């Protein structure tokens, strides 16, 4: 059915279905876990309790909701209003509060700010040659930079240690992998 319909569907309609499926499914399972029909596994993280909301791991609902929200933003035909932006921010923070997922919160805030800059106020025009070039090279450049920073990671440098903390110790763990597997 998906293959037959794919020729007639637009990316915005596909994003709507993805957003609805991810958000609705995650909220239903989370709700069932809160009324006791599904086990809400609890984890101790950083001295706080992280909820799994019926999933096997506490990170899963945060990622599901983030991806669903991103698909929802893409599917919108009108720009989000300020009350919507405030509601998004409160919801994003609540997801972080109950799941303790810092990296998901950082990505959420980054997407939220970029939506305001690129879509709501159009402070940076997406269709310029500079932005098109940046779009093509940004992912490989960021990948190379992250590998180099991980390879050269030194926990005695304060800004590197703060960056590592911001990205949920991905740099130090990557350094361990480099040391272990050369």
**What distance lies between CA 11 and its chain's CA centroid?**
20
Task: Find the farthest-apart pair of alpha carbons in the chain and give their distance in angstroms, rounded.
Answer: 57
Helix (H) or strand (E) holding 50: strand 48-51
- Categorize the per-residue pLDDT at 4 as very low, low, confident or very high, splitting at 50, 70 and 90: low
3-state helix, strand, coil in the chain (%, to 5): 70, 5, 25
What are the tokens at 147?
A: 């590998």
In this structure, what is the dihedral angle of CA atoms 109, 113, 114, 115, given to the nearest 10 degrees? 100
Structure tokens at 90: 């409160």
Segment 114-134 shows an average pLDDT of 90
pLDDT score, position 167: 83
Query: In angstroms, how far is the first alpha carbon of the chain from the final one?
Result: 47
| pTM for the model | 0.74
């Amino acid at each position: 059915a998906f293959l037959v319909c794919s020729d007639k569907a637009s990316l915005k309609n596909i994003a709507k279905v993805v957003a609805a499926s991810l958000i609705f499914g995650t909220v239903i399972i989370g709700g069932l876990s809160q009324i006791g029909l599904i086990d809400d596994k609890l984890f101790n993280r950083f001295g706080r309790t992280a909820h799994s909301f019926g999933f096997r791991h506490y990170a899963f609902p945060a990622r599901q909701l983030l991806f669903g929200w991103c698909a929802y933003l893409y599917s919108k035909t009108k720009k989000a209003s300020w009350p919507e932006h405030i509601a998004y921010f409160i919801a994003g923070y609540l997801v972080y509060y109950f799941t303790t997922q810092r990296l998901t919160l950082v990505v959420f805030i980054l997407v939220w700010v970029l939506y305001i800059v690129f879509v709501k106020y159009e402070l940076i025009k997406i269709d310029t040659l500079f932005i098109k070039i940046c779009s093509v090279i940004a992912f490989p450049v960021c990948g190379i930079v992250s590998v180099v920073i991980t390879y050269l990671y030194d926990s005695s440098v304060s800004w590197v240690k703060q960056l590592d903390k911001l990205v949920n110790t991905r740099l130090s763990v990557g350094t361990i992998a480099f040391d272990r597997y050369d």
